[in-house]
Structure 1
Amino acid sequence: MQLMFRANNILEAHIVAGLLKSHDIDCHVGGHYLQGAVGDLPATDFAHVFVEQSKVNLAQSIINDYENNIL
């Protein structure tokens, strides 16, 4: 699997994953358990969305649309 999206938080990672899954793209959200490890520190760069290599181009197009508020 390839890292496709670095989310601001775990909720955004699941939103993007849901969007990809709605387009029949299997994906994985990583970083769930890292969120609790940071305690009172600002949590950054722990929520990621991974996609199978064969769907990278399609996923990138969908993520670009999401980031540009097209969807």
Structure 2
Amino acid sequence: MRIVYQAENIVDAHLVKNALEGAGIRAFVAGEYLTGGAGLLPAMDLVAVMVDDADIETAGPIVADIDAALRENRANPNAFDALPDPA
């Protein structure tokens, strides 16, 4: 398995994971339980979404669309738009 998305938080990781699974790609959230050690562990790069090596290329555009929507929503939180449909 390889990392396709380094998440800022668990919610973002699961949004990406769910989008990938909705497109028929098996995905795994790695490190989600490490966030329980906040304050004891470095706060960066704890949570990642992983897919099988064979699914890397297929997952790329889906992850890019979700990431772009998450960044846009963070930049302008009062203008919430729905995340793109992965199908």
Structure 2 length as normaliser, TM-score? 0.72
Report % sequence identity.
Answer: 34
- Does the 8 Å CA contact 1:9/1:44 hold for their aligned counterparts? no
Alignment of 1:1-71 (within 5 A): 1-39=1-39, 43-69=43-69, 71=84
Secondary structure in structure 1 of the residue aligned to 2:13: helix
Which of 1 and 2 has greater Rg?
2
**Number of residue equivalences:** 71
Structure 1 position 45, deviation (Å): 1.1
Alpha-carbon separation, structure 1, partners of 2:18 and 2:67? 15
Name the structure with the higher helix share.
Answer: 2
